[in-house]
Amino acid sequence: RVRRSCDFAVGGFICTMLGYWFYCRYSLVQQRIRQRMLKEGMRNKMLFEGSSFDPEKKQTGNERSSS
């Protein structure tokens, strides 16, 4: 029964290792997606800040009538 016990131990180790590996890869991909979105948002913020395309810029009545 020693061989069977070793087979179960190796099998359990491989299953655990693969489970953690897939979990870590999934977390890494999600982190990279969040970083890419943040980087793009920061780039857009720098491009549009102070321009008429700036979504945070509040338009007043004078600016609307002159546009």
Within a domain: residue 61? Answer: no
Within a domain: residue 42? Answer: yes
Residues 18, 11 contacting (CB under 8 angstroms): no
Within a domain: residue 46? Answer: yes
CA–CA separation, 13 vs 11, rounded Å?
A: 5
Within a domain: residue 24? Answer: yes
Within a domain: residue 67? Answer: no
Predicted local confidence at residue 65, as pLDDT: 54
Domain total of the chain: 1
Q: Model-level pTM? A: 0.59
Predicted local confidence at residue 58, as pLDDT: 64
Q: Where in 1-67 does DSSP place strands (E)?
A: none
Range of the domain at 35: 1-52
Within a domain: residue 65? Answer: no
Helix, strand, coil percentages, rounded to 5, for the chain: 80, 0, 20
Predicted local confidence at residue 3, as pLDDT: 93
CA–CA separation, 5 vs 13, rounded Å?
A: 12
Q: Which residue has the higher pLDDT, 44 or 10?
A: 10
Within a domain: residue 5? Answer: yes
Within a domain: residue 19? Answer: yes
Encode pLDDT of 15-67 as tens digits.
Answer: 999 999 999 999 999 999 999 999 998 888 877 777 776 767 665 555 555 55
Radius of gyration of the chain, Cα coordinates, nearest whole angstrom? 27
Predicted local confidence at residue 34, as pLDDT: 97
